[in-house]
Amino acid sequence: MREVYSEYLLYEPILRILTARGCRAKCEFPCKGLERPGRGDKRRLDFKVDDCGGAIAIEVKWAKSSKLNVTRDLEKLKWFKNNYPKSRAYLCVFGTKSKIEHLALSMKLPEIGRAVYCDVRKTKYGCKFFEVTP
Whether 81 contacts 132, CB under 8 Å: yes
Burial class of residue 97 in the structure, from the number of CB atoms within 10 Å of its CB (0-12 exposed, 13-18 middle, 19+ buried): middle
List the one residue out of 115, 116, 57, 117 whose CA is nearest residue 85: 57
Q: Domain locations in the chain? A: 2-30+42-132
List the one residue out of 19, 33, 11 whose CA is nearest residue 78: 33
Which residues lie below 8 Å from residue 107, measured CB to CB, with a gap of 6+?
Answer: 70, 71, 74
| Type of residue found at 95 | G
pLDDT band (50, 70, 90) for residue 130: very high
Report field, pTM of the whole predicted structure over 0.85? yes
Statement: 2-30+42-132 belongs to CATH 3.40.1350: yes
Q: pLDDT at position 39, please?
A: 67
**pLDDT of residue 40 exceeding 70:** no
What beta strand segments (E) does 9-43 contain? 24-30
Give strand pairing partners of 90.
58, 131
Range in 10-24, 41-55, 102-116 with the lowest mean pLDDT: 41-55
Which residues lie below 8 Å from residue 38, measured CB to CB, with a gap of 6+?
Answer: none
For the stretch 79-95, pLDDT in tens is: 999 999 889 999 999 99
Whether 25 contacts 54, CB under 8 Å: no
| Type of residue found at 28 | E
Q: pLDDT at position 42, please?
A: 79
